């Protein structure tokens, strides 16, 4: 059985402008930790999972 590689080009094209806009906003604010974008991410994740969420810098930090 051959499993084809995942091709994300088409999906990325749909969201590329929004990803770049949000990434640029983080770079311009220089708030890489505990900034407004992090707070928004955590709030959206809380809504998505129906509980609590904390953004972490790595999987190791999340486990610790």
The answer to whether position 1 is within a domain reads no
Which pLDDT belongs to residue 7?
82
The rounded Cα 38 to chain-centroid distance in angstroms is: 9
The answer to whether position 17 is within a domain reads yes
Domain count for the chain, please give it.
1
Domain membership of residue 52 as a residue range:
9-63
How does pLDDT run across 7-34, given as a tens digit for each residue? 888 889 999 999 999 999 999 999 888 8
- H or E stretch covering 1: none
Mean pLDDT of the chain: 91
The answer to whether position 2 is within a domain reads no
The answer to whether position 3 is within a domain reads no
Q: What angle is formed at CA 63 by the lines to CA 59 and CA 64, rounded to 5 degrees?
A: 115
The answer to whether position 54 is within a domain reads yes
Residue with tokens 């890489």: 32
The answer to whether position 44 is within a domain reads yes
The answer to whether position 34 is within a domain reads yes
User: The whole model's pTM is what?
Assistant: 0.67
């Amino acid at each position: 059985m051959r499993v084809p590689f995942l091709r994300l080009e088409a999906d990325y094209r749909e969201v590329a402008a929004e990803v770049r806009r949000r990434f640029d906003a983080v770079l311009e604010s220089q708030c890489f930790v505990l900034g407004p974008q992090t707070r928004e991410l955590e709030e959206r994740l809380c809504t998505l999972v129906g509980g609590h969420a904390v953004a972490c810098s790595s999987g190791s930090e999340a486990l610790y």
